[in-house]
């Protein structure tokens, strides 16, 4: 089977991306990729397993299994990363909210929270997505390195309230707008203790690819014309 045939499929690439970000369980793949059907997810995982790119490991009696990358799978890491970087540099950096499933974005958002800048103990965030009527309220519970995402009220006292449209949250997460500037311009509302609001630039979630800037496309064309 040709390499492109094996990993060139959209869902396969997204699954591999999730694995490099630490996702290992079937249910978490579903949460990270809400638009993939369970049957397609199972089929893609089986295909990767048959190609020995991943393996299934039992977690214990009565527990679900988890998926882990093999050595072969780990060697795909630079390829997946370079594809993401190339896409942001050459195919348009801006990610439209229409292209992002709310659940998928919130999964990315919660796992990129910079917990080292938070106080000791549990910090509870309540996020309201102002331009959505469904799946528009979320809670993030952060305690050390453990960060949980809840689509329903977990019954905890909230420390920080965050309100913004999905598009503005994406812009801030991608680093296109700074959190302080966004708050000053009131495109995001932060409410909570003063020390947490002032330290938002240190803990606010940010994409691992936020520093990737668009390439100079006109220079690219001019360079090509010289040959």
CATH code, residues 3-90: 1.10.10.10
| Nearest C-alpha neighbor of 177 from the set 122, 95, 114, 116 | 95
- Which residue spans within 131-212 are E strands per DSSP? 137-143, 146-150, 160-164, 188-191
Q: Cα separations (Å) of 107 from 2, 31, 61, 145? A: 32, 7, 28, 15
User: Which residue spans of the chain are classified as CATH 1.10.10.10?
Assistant: 3-90
Buried b / exposed e along 28-61 (16+ C-beta atoms within 10 A) = bbbbbbeebeeeebeebbebbeebebbeeeeeee
Residues forming CATH 3.30.1050.10 domain(s) in the chain: 97-203
- pLDDT by residue for the chain (227 residues), tens digit each? 567 778 888 899 999 999 998 899 999 999 888 889 999 999 999 999 999 999 999 877 667 789 999 999 999 999 998 888 887 777 665 555 455 688 889 999 999 999 999 999 999 999 999 998 888 999 999 999 999 999 999 999 999 999 999 999 999 999 999 999 999 999 999 999 999 999 999 999 999 888 877 776 666 666 666 66
What is the fold, at CATH topology level, of the domain defined by 97-203? Nonspecific Lipid-transfer Protein; Chain A (3.30.1050)
Interstrand relation of 65-69 and 122-129 (parallel, antiparallel or unpaired): unpaired
């Amino acid at each position: 089977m040709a390499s492109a045939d094996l990993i060139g499929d959209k869902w396969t690439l997204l699954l591999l991306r999730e694995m490099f970000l630490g996702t290992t369980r079937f249910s978490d793949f579903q949460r990270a990729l809400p638009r993939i059907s369970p049957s397609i997810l199972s089929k893609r995982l089986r295909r990767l397993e048959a190609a020995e790119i991943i393996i299934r490991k039992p977690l214990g009696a009565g527990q679900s299994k988890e998926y882990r990358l093999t050595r072969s799978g780990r060697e795909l890491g630079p390829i997946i990363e370079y594809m993401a970087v190339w896409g942001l540099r050459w195919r348009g950096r801006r990610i439209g909210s229409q292209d992002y499933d709310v659940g998928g974005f919130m999964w990315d958002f919660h796992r990129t929270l910079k917990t080292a800048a938070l106080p000791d103990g549990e910090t509870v965030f309540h996020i309201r997505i102002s331009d959505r009527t469904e799946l528009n309220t979320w809670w993030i519970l952060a305690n050390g390195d453990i960060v949980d995402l809840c689509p329903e009220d977990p019954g905890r006292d909230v420390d920080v309230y965050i309100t913004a449209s999905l598009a503005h949250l994406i812009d801030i997460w991608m680093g296109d707008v700074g959190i302080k500037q966004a708050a000053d311009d009131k495109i995001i509302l932060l409410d909570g203790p003063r020390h947490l609001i002032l330290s938002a630039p240190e803990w606010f979630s940010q994409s691992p690819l936020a520093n990737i800037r668009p390439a100079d496309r006109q220079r690219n064309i001019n360079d090509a014309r010289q040959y």
